[in-house]
């Protein structure tokens, strides 16, 4: 059976598409083209936006009783994207041993994930679950003045950034030395009371030179299945892979061209997505690549 993957945002489908709805992550559908050694589809992908609030989402609020093997949660809301019922079911989903990716963006964007068991604590925001290191509670990207910390500037949308591996290279980073860049990434860190969690990759601000965390991996344990806390959903957005895909009207920073001009960046993005999808399902990405 193919690995069943849910790609889900925390906002209803935006009118006219003018927000970070699931349609802005369409290139992740490349997962549907992946086949196993017998030529059969490797993944069965469901991509959707959440149901209108304030009611619980029909999928997220019952996720623990679903047939999904893993869920990728793109927290693109301004703080109210998950109901109590949604959070409880997503937390039970992972506690039951299944895989979970949770990603957000700058400042308080996506702060509804704070109540998720384990992985929610790995996300630091401006007014919720602040970074325990007070020295990091300061503006990094100074160009977009209305966005406050955390807002690490790893580069322009459409460019890519080098990844520094922390400790032993995690299977998620097998064959991955770059990730897409973004002018104001969020903040993640390994919760001290989560023994299975560790920072696996860091980036460097192109404004301040500050080193910041890109991803935290939660290895499978008695507390739950594999999970990832990612610093920004822009690592997965179409616009960051190919700026010609366009962005919501409120994005006003000029994009870069490195992803278009240098195939290494796009190849790394594709490889990381495949690694995530395999690892969250309990498979070794390196074996898939024959490494």
Summarize pLDDT for 178-218 with one digit per residue, the tens.
999 999 999 999 999 999 999 999 999 999 999 999 999 99
What per-residue confidence (pLDDT) applies to 289?
Answer: 56
CATH of the domain at 61: 3.40.50
Over the stretch 101-112, which tens digit does the pLDDT of each residue have? Answer: 999 999 999 999
**Residue 18 structural domain:** 3-288
Q: How many CB atoms lie within 10 A of CB 75?
A: 29
- pTM (predicted TM-score): 0.96
Q: How many domains does the chain have?
A: 1
User: Starting at the edge strand that comes first in sequence, how are the strands of the sheet with 3-9 ordered?
Assistant: 43-48, 3-9, 70-74, 99-103, 227-230, 211-218, 197-204, 164-165
pLDDT at residue 209 in the model: 97
pLDDT of residue 30: 80
Low pLDDT (below 70) residues in the chain: 288-291
**269 φ, ψ (degrees, to nearest 5):** -65, -45
Q: CA 249 → CA 20, 57, 63, 77, 169, distances in Å?
A: 11, 27, 32, 16, 38
Q: Using CA atoms, how far apart are residues 92 and 66, in angstroms rounded to an integer?
A: 11
């Amino acid at each position: 059976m193919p690995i069943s993957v849910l790609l889900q945002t925390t906002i209803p489908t935006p009118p006219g598409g003018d927000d970070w709805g699931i349609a802005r992550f369409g290139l992740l559908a490349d997962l549907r083209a992946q086949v196993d050694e017998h030529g059969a589809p490797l993944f069965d992908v469901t991509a959707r936006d959440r149901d209108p609030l304030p009611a619980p989402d029909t999928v997220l609020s019952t996720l623990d009783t679903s047939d999904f093997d893993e869920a990728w949660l793109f927290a693109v809301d301004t703080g109210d994207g998950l109901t109590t019922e949604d959070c409880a079911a997503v937390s039970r989903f992972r506690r039951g041993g299944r895989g979970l990716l949770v990603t957000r963006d700058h400042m308080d964007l996506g702060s509804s994930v704070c109540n998720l068991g384990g992985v929610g604590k790995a996300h630091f925001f401006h007014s919720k679950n602040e970074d325990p290191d007070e020295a990091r509670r300061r503006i990094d990207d100074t160009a977009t003045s209305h966005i406050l910390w955390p807002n690490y500037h790893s580069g322009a949308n459409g460019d890519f950034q080098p990844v520094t591996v922390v400790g032993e290279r995690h299977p998620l980073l097998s064959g991955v030395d770059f990730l897409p860049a973004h002018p104001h990434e969020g903040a993640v860190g390994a919760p001290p009371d989560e023994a299975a969690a560790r920072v696996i990759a860091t980036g460097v601000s192109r404004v301040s030179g500050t080193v910041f965390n890109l991803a935290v991996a939660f290895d499978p344990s008695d507390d739950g299945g594999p999970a990832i806390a990612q610093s920004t959903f822009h690592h997965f957005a179409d616009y960051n892979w190919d700026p010609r895909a366009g962005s919501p009207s409120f994005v006003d920073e000029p994009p870069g061209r490195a992803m278009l001009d240098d195939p290494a960046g796009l190849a790394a993005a594709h490889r990381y997505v495949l690694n995530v999808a395999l690892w969250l399902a309990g498979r070794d990405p390196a074996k898939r690549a024959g490494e």
